[in-house]
Amino acid sequence: MFLQKEYQTFDELMRKDGEEQEINELFGNILQQAVDVFNTKTQNEEFLQYPEDKYVIRALFEYILELWSEGAFEDAKNLGYDLVYMVDDENLKEAFSMFVLGLIDKMPLDKFLERYVDFDGTDERYDMFFTAFHDDIDELIIKHRETFKKEFSE
C-alpha cells in the first residue's frame, strides 16, 4: 500500500518520542505525497478507495485535524468536504461529514472529540479513523444540515 512504509516509520518515531524536526519533516513528506495522489485522482476523475488508499486518506485526515487544532477552520472544512466527496467508502464519508459539521460550528477540536466521538465504538476496519459518534452529534446535524448541503454542493 502506498505510504505504508513511511507511516510505519512515522508511527515508530511517535512511539519512541522521536525528534520533533524529524517527525515534522517525515509528515510533511507523507502529506505532500498524499496531496499528489489526491490531485492525480481528482484530475483523472477517480476516487480514493478504502482500504487501498488508506494511508493517503489518513494523511489528509490528520492534516484536517492539524489545521483544526490551529484554528484554520475554513481550510480544514474545505479539505473535509474534499474527503467527503473523494473517498469511496460510505462509512468514512459519513464520519468525515460529522467532522465537517464540527468545523462549521467552529468548535474547538478537543471539545468536538470529547463531546461527540465514541472512541470505543469505532469499527476495527477503520482503526486509524474515528467513525463512531455519540447520539449528541444529532444536534450538530440538525443545526448545520442546510449549511452543509449548500456548501457541499458549491
Q: What is the pLDDT of residue 151?
A: 97
pLDDT digits (tens, 9 = 90+) for 14-50: 999 999 999 999 999 999 999 999 999 999 999 999 9
pLDDT digits (tens, 9 = 90+) for 96-130: 999 999 999 999 999 999 999 999 998 899 989 99
Q: What is the pLDDT of residue 122?
A: 87
Q: How many Å apart are CA 98 and CA 116, to the nearest integer?
A: 9
Q: How many Å apart are CA 106 and CA 74, to the nearest integer?
A: 9
Nearest CA-CA partner of 30 in 66, 63, 64: 63
Q: Tell me the average pLDDT of the chain.
A: 97
Q: How many Å apart are CA 50 and CA 17, to the nearest integer?
A: 29
Q: How many Å apart are CA 20 and CA 23, to the nearest integer?
A: 5
Which contacts (CB < 8 Å, 24+ apart) does range 106-110 have?
A: 106/73, 109/65, 109/68, 109/69, 110/69
pTM exceeding the 0.75 threshold for the entire prediction: yes
Residue type at position 1 = M
Q: What is the pLDDT of residue 144?
A: 98
Average pLDDT of the segment spanning 56-79: 98
Q: Where are the domains of the chain?
A: 4-153
Average pLDDT of the segment spanning 83-88: 98
Q: Which three cell numbers stand for residue 63?
A: 492534516
Say yes or no to pLDDT of 84 above 90. Answer: yes
